[in-house]
Amino acid sequence: MSRYAYFEGKFVPIEEANINIQTNSFHYGTAVFEGIRAYWNEEKNQLFGLFFKEHYERMLLNCKILNLQVEKSPEELVEITVELLRKCNHREDTYIRPIAYFSDLKISPKLIGYRTELAIYTVPLGNYLDLSRGLKAKTSSWHRINDTMIPARCKVAGAYVNSAFAKTEALLNGYDEAIMLNPDGTVAEGSGENVFIVRNGRLITTPSSSNILEGITRNAVIEIAKSELGIEVEERPILRSELYVADEAFYTGTAAQVAPIVQIDHVTIGNGEIGKVTKELQRVYFSIVKGENERYSHWLTPVY
Ligand code: PMP
């Protein structure tokens, strides 16, 4: 593997993909990024990009919220990403990080009058959360940002200060990950994951009006649950205490994948084991992303 980045219109060695410290977005967090995965299939000698187009569609909508002008279509961005992965010759599970930002060397937090630039880099990434066991989650004392402050649906760099507070608090207190609530007490999401519970055989997740990033893995899991497992899915507000009485709970995310939760605030979820539905969703999800399920090949972009 060799490391390149797409940086301000060109492919360059990663060491040359550097921004000036005066870069406007570096100071004000006014950048929009994505987190995308590609999975290596040893048997097929193939790297499968997962939901490439969907990630770039979301990125461009997020850029619209911040008035970042990326003059490229989702298809063009997919093409650049495939070319970058080929240049790097990745032959392992890989994470792709595109970021659009205001590149002017100017002071003032605003979303107008600046030039937009785009950078993409890739890095090998295995499991982001430990999937060999059930996770311990902590309801965070940090509330999730509200749409009247920084829209949570937007993957904007500055919003991740909120995530960093919650994740750090969870880690320092011996937990694996956070669950953030809204000020009204309803569940929002994890620091980098959406949250699902299972109750009485139904899958429940928070609606997009609960200040969440509209997760692409969330959508995929909803579809798998409905079409492969024949499970009903409810998108509705969840209160903290409903987490405690759930039969199963798990996180979803591009990095997190499908990550089971077995304890929340020291309360054992279900019988404390990884739940049946969670296990099944995890199994189907991994078979799809690794390119082993032909029915979902339209979710994947072969790189080689
Ligand atoms: N919520 C937040 C705050 C996130 O950062 C992420 C990761 N992108 C998710 C949810 C999950 O979204 P996705 O499934 O699209 O990766």
- Nearest residue by C-alpha to atom 5 in ligand 1: 192
Range 110-139 average pLDDT: 96
SS3 111: coil
Q: Are 233 and 222 in contact (CB under 8 A)?
A: yes
Query: Tens of pLDDT along 25-65?
Result: 999 999 999 999 999 999 999 999 999 999 999 999 999 99
Return the pLDDT at 115. 98
- Model confidence at 153, in pLDDT bands (50, 70, 90)? very high
Catalytic residue (one of 155, 167, 276, 290): 155
Return the pLDDT at 174. 98
Judge whether residue 230 has pLDDT over 90.
Answer: yes
- Cα of 277 vs centre of ligand 1, distance in Å, is 21
Return the pLDDT at 1. 85
- Phi then psi for residue 138, to 5 deg, are -120, 130
Q: What residue spans define the domains of the chain?
A: 4-124, 135-289
Domain 4-124 maps to which CATH number in 3.40.120.10, 3.30.70.20, 3.30.470.10, 1.10.357.10?
Answer: 3.30.470.10
Cite the DSSP H helix spans in 207-293: 216-227, 240-244, 276-289
Alpha-carbon dihedral angle through residues 294, 35, 90, 72, given to the nearest 10 degrees:
90
- Cα of 215 vs centre of ligand 1, distance in Å, is 5
- Model confidence at 234, in pLDDT bands (50, 70, 90)? very high
Structure tokens at 134: 């059930």
Domain 135-289, CATH homologous superfamily name and number: D-amino Acid Aminotransferase, subunit A, domain 2 (3.20.10.10)
Kindly give the number of the ligand 1 atom that is closest to the alpha carbon of 220.
14
Q: Of 164, 174, 176, 185, nearest to 262 (Cα)?
A: 176
SS3 string of 61-101? HHHHHHCCCCCCCHHHHHHHHHHHHHHHCCCCCEEEEEEEE
- What's the mean per-residue pLDDT of the chain? 97
Range 264-284 average pLDDT: 97
- Nearest residue by C-alpha to atom 9 in ligand 1: 193
Task: Specify whether 276 is catalytic.
Answer: no
Q: Which residues line the pocket of ligand 1, CB cutoff 6 A?
A: 35, 163, 189, 192-194, 213, 215-218, 252-254
Kindly give the number of the ligand 1 atom that is closest to the alpha carbon of 55.
15
Q: Of 49, 43, 44, nearest to 297 (Cα)?
A: 49
Range 2-14 average pLDDT: 97
Q: Are 128 and 254 in contact (CB under 8 A)?
A: no
Domains 4-124 and 135-289 share a fold: no
Range 277-298 average pLDDT: 97
| Angstrom distance (rounded) from CA 206 to CA 86 | 37
Q: Calculate the alpha carbon distances from 173 to 127, 165, 189, 240, 268 in Å.
A: 22, 12, 19, 19, 17
With a CB cutoff of 8 Å and minimum separation 6, the contacts of 100 are 31, 32, 33, 59, 63, 68, 70, 116, 117, 118
Predicted model pTM: 0.97
Judge whether residue 165 has pLDDT over 90.
Answer: yes
First-last CA distance in the chain: 14
- Cα of 214 vs centre of ligand 1, distance in Å, is 7
- Cα of 211 vs centre of ligand 1, distance in Å, is 12
| Angstrom distance (rounded) from CA 161 to CA 31 | 13
Q: Are 98 and 58 in contact (CB under 8 A)?
A: no
Range 71-87 average pLDDT: 98
